[in-house]
């Protein structure tokens, strides 16, 4: 009989090895249980008529899906129950959510990434990043932290139930879901260096709306690597971790209807771009924004700040980084909500 190591035991070992408290284990237990509940509601969404939209528009100006709301409520509930969180920032809540004044952690999350996939029964995900409160620092109560301050980040692929988890300076790991619903069998993951599996991932339908520098770069690499795009960051990034290459969500600066331009890109810094940037770093990769700055260094000014994203193998990201830096002034700087 072969019994696999569970996620909780993996984390326990890590915490003990580094003389850390067990509070983080309690927090991660809440996140793990929340993911299982989201998975359950995803599985029954079609039968319970929860595949559609609500009549609510979120802070990003996007229509909220029924499952977005359900997933948000689940995560908030289990974060509160853990009693470890001082404040949480969710894609689905306009303001940061205050939880326990004695909590040790800040949690940033997108409870259901890739919502447009839901009505087609296609895969989605749950992304989260965690920073630690610094009780002795001046900014102990400020949740606007850059990705380099994260102590961990992760994503659950739903419904496959694969869990990717990265610890600061502790590597990126993948866990599979066993027949009892437990996340087991930690396997360290690295972005593959061998170019034969590398892929390029972006919304090619927007190609003409990207800046000349981005179009030029993408045009140069388009034919070299296979092209894949699922329309859900968790799904596309999961695939990227397996195969290597680059995922790009560039700024939209040249839309034929200028009101649809997104000079800061579409993805949100704290619970999307910084989360995958953190995981990518632990897997040997790199992530930069529209100015060629490392995403992990960008200190958010607002909870729902957007950021363009170029993430993947260092060689490719460094190459777009130098092209972006050469065209720094193509993209206006603005902080949006």
Question: By CB under 6 A, is residue 314 in contact with ligand AHM?
Answer: no
Site for ligand AHM in 249-278 (CB under 6 A): 249, 266
Partnered with residue 135 across adjacent β-strands are none
Q: How far is the CB of 226 from ligand AHM (least distance, A)?
A: 18
Q: Which of 103, 111, 114, 244 binds ligand AHM (CB under 6 A)?
A: 114
Q: Which residue number, 113 or 182, has a Cβ lying nearer to Mg ion?
A: 113
Q: Which residue number, 311 or 331, has a Cβ lying nearer to ligand AHM?
A: 311
User: Strand 286-288's sheet: what is its strand order?
Assistant: 226-227, 199-201, 245-249, 309-312, 286-288
Could you tell me how many residues of this chain bind ligand AHM (CB under 6 A)? Answer: 12
| Ramachandran region, residue 64 (left: φ > 0; alpha: ψ -120 to 50; beta: rest) | beta
The DSSP output letter for 313 is -
Q: Which residue number, 22 or 57, has a Cβ lying nearer to ligand AHM?
A: 57
Q: How far is the CB of 91 from Mg ion (least distance, A)?
A: 6
Calculate the CA dihedral of residues 238, 190, 272, 138 and round it to 10 degrees.
160
Question: Whose CA is closest to 7, among 161, 190, 234, 128?
Answer: 161
From residue 53 to residue 82, the character string flagging contacts with ligand AHM as x (rule: CB under 6 A) and all else as - is ---------x--------------------
Site for ligand AHM in 196-215 (CB under 6 A): 203
Report in angstroms the alpha-carbon separations of 244 from 178, 197, 231, 264, 306.
Answer: 26, 7, 17, 25, 24
Interface residues toward Mg ion, by CB under 5 A: 110, 113
The contact set with ligand AHM (CB under 6 A) reads 62, 91, 110, 113-115, 203, 231-233, 249, 266
């Amino acid at each position: 009989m072969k019994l696999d190591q569970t996620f909780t035991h993996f984390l326990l070992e890590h915490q003990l090895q580094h003389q850390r408290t067990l509070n983080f284990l309690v927090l991660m237990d809440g996140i793990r249980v929340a993911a299982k509940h989201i998975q359950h509601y995803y599985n029954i969404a079609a039968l319970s008529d929860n595949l559609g939209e609500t009549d609510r528009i979120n802070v990003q100006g996007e229509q909220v899906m029924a499952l977005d709301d359900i997933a948000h409520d689940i995560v908030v509930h289990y974060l509160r129950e853990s009693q470890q969180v001082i404040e949480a920032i969710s894609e689905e809540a306009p303001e940061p959510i205050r939880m326990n004044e004695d909590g040790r952690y800040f949690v940033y999350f997108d409870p259901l990434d890739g919502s447009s996939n839901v009505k087609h029964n296609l895969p989605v995900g749950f992304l989260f990043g965690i920073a630690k409160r610094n009780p002795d620092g001046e900014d102990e109560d400020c949740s606007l932290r850059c990705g380099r301050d994260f102590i961990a980040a992760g994503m659950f692929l739903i419904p496959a139930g694969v869990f990717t988890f990265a610890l600061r300076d502790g590597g990126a790991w993948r866990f599979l879901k066993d027949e009892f619903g437990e996340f087991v069998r930690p396997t360290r993951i690295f972005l593959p260096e061998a170019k034969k599996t590398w892929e390029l991932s972006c919304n090619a339908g927007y190609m003409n709306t990207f800046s000349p520098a981005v179009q030029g770069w993408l045009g140069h690499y388009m034919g070299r690597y296979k092209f894949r795009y699922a329309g859900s960051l968790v799904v596309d990034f999961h695939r990227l971790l397996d195969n290597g290459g680059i995922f790009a969500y560039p700024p939209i600066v040249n839309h034929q209807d200028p009101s649809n331009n997104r000079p800061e890109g579409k993805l949100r810094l704290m619970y999307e771009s910084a989360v995958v940037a953190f995981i990518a770093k632990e897997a040997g990769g790199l992530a930069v924004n529209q100015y060629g700055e490392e995403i992990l260094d960008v200190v958010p000014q607002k909870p729902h700040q957007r950021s363009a994203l170029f993430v993947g193998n260092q060689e490719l990201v460094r190459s777009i980084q130098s092209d972006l830096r050469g065209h720094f002034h193509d993209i206006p700087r603005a902080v949006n909500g």
